[in-house]
Structure 1
């Protein structure tokens, strides 16, 4: 994105981020996830959901159905969130890289090796995951130079030394402080300089593993596994250079993360793990003054059988012949839910300094009173880089009869 003029002062923005981690143990979604997603909390106005699941059903029938259909968990979450204008992006895998107002953010969902004796393996995997995070684009920094790393998942760290009876009695009496001292992740953070840079909220909730399914009872099987805080949410803010006698202090950009809550959700019992959520407020002062692409629905007009779309782009945006603009109905669930799309080069009508026009065949647009959105997808960045405001398109019968200047969409 284009850097703003240093003299330009942009106001501080606050983004509310809700992070969910849950080992669902191959179970199907429960009937209601309102508590998990904090949908009934009227004091929250969330901007971003980050949802990481582990042990989703990976049977052969599930793999075959996932090839043709959306998996049931994604479908269930989007049934709830798409009416609230949240969109599921096209990213997948362990690491998601985002850019918020010019800041670099990485999101990592992990599932580390289980069992008490495999603590060294867990720590090795932690380091290896960090080492393997390489990005294709040349201008993306190393993950440890990102402004924020959110790392969560079933990390499988256990409680050492104490016996099963002591741990259960401590949990029953809500005396967690002794257990914290023997938590393997807490111990590792005291000795590993890199791991120490990752912060975590206080563990004021009971250990989240292992429960009998469909109950709030800890493991009553023959194995009687010792409870542990296996499901964790960590974060790391980029370190700022330390001032010395030879280097004056530089004013760091305003970029601060505040933890609002860190809780487990005992209400859900479909798995042997309880889900854990964190809600953050991310305060930042934007480093950019404009998006890479600005779509201008107010400039939409019709010309014979085409709908013309105007958009502007920043001077340093590198377009590709494979970039495209999609037309969507408001309430879409996924980037693939377009009504129609056009390749920006193939369908280009005109261009000038920073302003371009492309066309969509009007016959590809349904006659409806629904509201629409335009998305610009960058092939180079593998991401949506511009979204329009909602707008309406007049019915074609009206467009055919009315003068051209009355064919503007109703914003």
Structure 2
């Protein structure tokens, strides 16, 4: 006769407790599930708790994934200037996308004002899932607290990376917190005395996994002056080859920015293996030409002016930013202004206006996600620095249905809780 194993009172209580905890997790997650239009059912079979989408939604998602997977995808060799849209500025955001990111970079020129930081984060903040704020020449002060206060209680800090005046902040909606993991920070300094005068050159970076996708965000401040193109290229190469590369010794940089000695680069780099890379900052690439000719083109033909942009030229030559995308340069050059005015540099130097402040992105895994620019523009209303801030609304859609990934993540969490109590 087969003996039926007896379940003790303690075991029964543990199973009921685990079921209660797992159900509680589902209830907590309902808030952000509703944002994505996903309905869930809980099934308990053979002592296994599973979280499943409704059948019709599951079948539709699998069919969409098979259809999208068959599409041919082309990755650009140099910078691809993408079309500008403005979906995220509308009152109702298209929830067919999975994430909407607000990304902004600003060289603060050592000054900060609370009202400028509020303007920096834009309006209708509830529309954005993540805020990425890159600052150069940032002054002393608790900027993280100012950003948190401006964003409100719906957002929480993902991570912060700081080298003196070179800073990067990422905040996200609180309901995404359980799906963010493996957060890391990296910092790369370049030489010179820039850090002493709050003009630190180099890069700071934050990486993390969101569900099944990996992201890297880099904020940098490269070498100044029009004739230092090769130095900027060298700094870009060093950052791209060594960021988050723990297995290799990094190159030492002399005060001019050139490497003192070469190191053997391990491939692929982190920038190649991450699903998405976003690069922002004061890249300091200038517009070549006389002040008079550039001023004329600013008022008459920005597209023709772009042909004189050093960053665009170097990218076309294959020196920098392989496969990156950037929104159209349909805004006026962001440097150098007389502080507090709309006038370009009227000092004796009369610097040539340039697009020094940029935001670019790269998709390394087009089978996993796609992205496009909703808005790429400068913020003309912020005049507290000799730079204008630059922002982009980045609209991301996962090719693999997001609810499948959420199902896997939450099912695994619930199952693990249940199994550990048996």
Band of TM-score, shorter chain: 0.5 to 0.7
Deviation of 1:117 (Å) = 1.0
**Partner residue, 1:272:** 386
After TM superposition, the runs of 4+ consecutive aligned structure 1 residues lying more than 4 A away are: 7-13, 32-35, 290-294, 311-315
* Alpha carbons 1:30, 1:270 under 8 Å: kept: no
Structure 2 residue 349 is matched with structure 1 residue 223: yes
The structure-2 alpha-carbon separation of the partners of 1:23 and 1:291, relative to structure 1 and needing over 3 Å to count, comes to farther
Aligned residue for 1:109, secondary structure, equals strand
Structure 2 residue 117 is matched with structure 1 residue 48: no
Aligned residue for 2:227, secondary structure, equals helix
Deviation of 1:23 (Å) = 0.2
Structure 2 residue 228 is matched with structure 1 residue 158: no
Q: Select 1:79's aligned residue among 137, 140, 149.
A: 149
Q: Which has the higher helix share?
A: 2
The structure-2 alpha-carbon separation of the partners of 1:239 and 1:220, relative to structure 1 and needing over 3 Å to count, comes to same
* Alpha carbons 1:312, 1:354 under 8 Å: kept: no
Structure 2 residue 294 is matched with structure 1 residue 212: no
Aligned residue for 1:232, secondary structure, equals strand
* Alpha carbons 1:159, 1:182 under 8 Å: kept: yes
* Alpha carbons 2:116, 2:382 under 8 Å: kept: no
* Aligned pairs (5 A) from 1:140-219: 142-160=270-288, 162-171=289-298, 173-192=299-318, 195-219=321-345
* Alpha carbons 1:29, 1:72 under 8 Å: kept: no
Q: Select 2:419's aligned residue among 341, 345, 353.
A: 353
**Alpha-carbon distance in structure 1 between the residues aligned to 2:360 and 2:159:** 24
* Aligned pairs (5 A) from 1:393-404: none
Q: Report the number of matched residues.
A: 270
Deviation of 1:312 (Å) = 4.6
Deviation of 1:103 (Å) = 0.6
**Partner residue, 2:182:** none
Structure 2 residue 361 is matched with structure 1 residue 235: yes
* Alpha carbons 2:276, 2:363 under 8 Å: kept: yes
TM-score normalised by length of structure 2: 0.58
**Partner residue, 2:120:** 36
Deviation of 1:91 (Å) = 3.4
The structure-2 alpha-carbon separation of the partners of 1:194 and 1:267, relative to structure 1 and needing over 3 Å to count, comes to closer
* Alpha carbons 2:236, 2:320 under 8 Å: kept: no
**Alpha-carbon distance in structure 1 between the residues aligned to 2:408 and 2:110:** 40
**Partner residue, 1:102:** 212
The structure-2 alpha-carbon separation of the partners of 1:158 and 1:288, relative to structure 1 and needing over 3 Å to count, comes to same
* Alpha carbons 1:257, 1:280 under 8 Å: kept: yes
